[in-house]
Structure 1
Amino acid sequence: MVSRLEGIDYKTNSPIHVYMENGMITDIQAIPDMQLDSLPILAPGLIDLQINGYKGFDFNTLPFSADSVIQVTRALWEEGVTTYFPTLITNCDDSIEQAIQTIIKACEKDRLTDSTIGGIHMEGPFISPEDGPRGAHNEKFIKAPDWSLLKKWQKIAKGRIKILTLSPEWEGAIAFIEKCSKNDVLVSIGHTAATNEQIRAAVKAGARMSTHLGNGAHLLLPRHPNYLWEQLANDHLWACLIADGFHLPLSFLKVAMKAKGTKTILVSDAVDLSGLDPGEYRTHIGGDVILTAEGKLHLKKNPELLAGSVQMLKHGITHLVNNQIADLSEAWEMASSRPAALIQLATKNGLVKGAPADLVLFKLKEKNIRIIETYKSGRRVYPCKAQ
């Protein structure tokens, strides 16, 4: 059955009809003589390559159930997210295995969850053990890249580990990266204290992305050379940025976008407190933390030390737009078609005929994005009474 959506094209600012059938966009037609202010904006669904948890649920706090993963997936539709990558951080091997198993169970149990989870992002344990680059990762579980271990995890994941964040400073890292690249695992440089030479070698071996560039780093760095400049300068690396207004200053966002151009991507890197009310919480990593009304999550003892990100992709988009760093269409593509292009998802061409009907209708209200409807494979998943 053919269904139709009506809205303002996020890119051309023109009113359009989008026709959908069998989960795909079958046609896009202009609407003549339509009042723009009566229509929502129509855009491709958002894609989050790095999300640790949402609304009190944490992919890294075990045990958790397949039903919890399904509930998180449905909650993310409310945020306009139609594809996401559950992110597992450094932990003991058994805990990582258990988390992978549960995510895969959720995918096997629920078809829409299966189609919404684009893959698993492994952020560690093959990262730098140094204070600063290590971030909040537990030093006890950090180790050198281990191909046999990754193969074991990938078997449990049934091939769905798609992104691996590591530091190329380890002995054997380059050969490991080459194997990942040949086996459909995108390697991202992050939580690193690597030298410029090690970063260049990693890129030559197949590394293609920088994980939350500008964060997970030493507090003090040499003016030059340093690993931030090296990653910014490398034309082969895509850069993921957290644009929540707290993790990176506007100047860094602006420079990174100029350096990377269309290879700039937004991620939320959201933790489990995202989507909860402001207040005081206790977490398994940061201890006592404060979530402010402005959306800043910091340690209770030191407001200057962040305890993670709680802002979703739509906030990152408006942060760039409201500060005139990007227009709406560019900022939206940084969180939709660009990550799709990097991962080679079928939605990489965005809002075009023949693309999957992963779509969002939204309105801008007081400089914020309000999601009206979300469609996954042509099916309205938010709002949805069946939820």
Structure 2
Amino acid sequence: MSGFVDVQVNGYAGVDFNSDDLTPELLRSACQRLRADGVASFFPTIITDDASSMMRRISRITSAVEKDAQIAELVAGIHVEGPFLSREKGFVGAHPPQHVMDAGVDLAMRLVDAGRGMVRLLTLAPESPGSSAVIRRLAEEKVIVAAGHTDASLDQLDQAIDAGLTMFTHLGNACPALVHRHDNIVQRGLAFADRLDISFIADGHHVPFFALANYLSRVPSERVVIVTDAISAAGLGPGTYRLAGQEVEVDPDLSAWAKGREHFAGCATTMPRMAELLKQKLHASDDQIDAWTRRNPGRLLAAAAG
């Protein structure tokens, strides 16, 4: 199976998209490896850092797209994950909490402007003060807005959807290991499965397959989006890698751990491997896998482009 569309890729095949050492040559090399692994389009993902670093990294990728046809063939947009996230431990995940900030239209538009039309998806926490205004403005700019790294209440999610929120980023992750048994962000996100496109990381580590099966039974198939959340380790295997300046240790089973092993830091599993796992572990049909890994994310790309 090929033609995958992945809207969350932090790096690939030894290349970290959040590194200040990223060059057009390195990005082209990553694109070539992604294409070899059956990926037709993807969003490089820029994660939380100080605002100037985020804007510089967005602009660097945009410049490479503008100047290199091989890169432009695969890079369909940029996903900005942060900095308007929850600061709470567990919810902030691998994002540096010192750079998380309240949502603001001015910074949101500076991030968008740094991409010169390439920023197509932004993930934020709907409970962040100022988020409603940011969501409305981004929606006006045709930027997809997703909830993620969040502990938003049902009311906050509902208000965010009314403001223009249309997606949830990697549900089941970016939350503490211990949460309320009923009223938690996973259950709240699933409560809006008929109004939001919901992405999942299908590596078996971020969400055990028995739990993923439960989630997928609640989410309409046309709203399921599989993402890799890949880091530079993807396609390479176990070892020590970098993600935006932090060290990530990848186990033999391809679990990618942040320092201290308190939480995951991205993913080392490729999209074709996720497709295999969905078939093997969940007995997903070829049509379901095609919808989740190509058609549904492809629809998001088309909406953001147009």
> What TM bracket, shorter-length normalisation?
over 0.9
Structure 1 partner of 2:25: 67
Give distance in 2, aligned partners of 1:55 and 1:92: 26
Structure 2 partner of 1:148: 106
Structure (1 or 2) with the greater strand fraction:
1
Per-residue deviation, residues 83-130 of structure 1 (Å, max 9, x unmatched): 000000001111112111211111112113113111000000010010
Structure 2 SS opposite 1:118: coil
Note if 1:83 corresponds to 2:45: no
Per-residue deviation, residues 144-196 of structure 1 (Å, max 9, x unmatched): 11211222222221111100000011222112111111110100000002111
Structure 2 SS opposite 1:88: strand
1:310 deviation in Å?
0.4
The one-letter code sitting in structure 1 at the alignment partner of 2:137 is K
Q: Which range moved further: 273-282 or 238-247? A: 273-282
Which one has the largest radius of gyration?
Answer: 1
Note if 1:257 corresponds to 2:216: yes
Structure 2 SS opposite 1:62: coil
Per-residue deviation, residues 204-248 of structure 1 (Å, max 9, x unmatched): 111111101000012221122222112112111111000111110
Structure 2 partner of 1:295: 254
Give distance in 2, aligned partners of 1:169 and 1:333: 31
Give distance in 2, aligned partners of 1:117 and 1:162: 11
Structure 1 partner of 2:229: 269
Unpaired segments ≥5 residues, structure 1: 1-42, 348-387
Structure (1 or 2) with the greater helix fraction:
2
Note if 1:321 corresponds to 2:279: yes
Give distance in 1, aligned partners of 2:73 and 2:291: 20
Structure 1 partner of 2:207: 248
Give distance in 1, aligned partners of 2:248 and 2:16: 16
Structure 1 partner of 2:57: 99
Contact 2:90 2:174 in 1 (8 A): yes
Contact 2:3 2:38 in 1 (8 A): yes
Equivalent in 235, 238, 241 of residue 278 of structure 1 = 238
Give distance in 1, aligned partners of 2:229 and 2:188: 23
- TM-score scaled by length of structure 2: 0.92
Give distance in 1, aligned partners of 2:242 and 2:302: 38
The RMSD of aligned alpha carbons is: 2.1
Unpaired segments ≥5 residues, structure 2: none
Query: Residues 141 and 325 (structure 1 numbering): CA distance in 2 closer, same or farther, change over 3 Å?
Result: same
The one-letter code sitting in structure 2 at the alignment partner of 1:256 is Y
**Could you tell me the percent identity over the aligned residues?**
32
Contact 1:283 1:289 in 2 (8 A): no
Number of residues of Structure 1 aligned to a counterpart in Structure 2? 303
Equivalent in 114, 126, 132 of residue 174 of structure 1 = 132
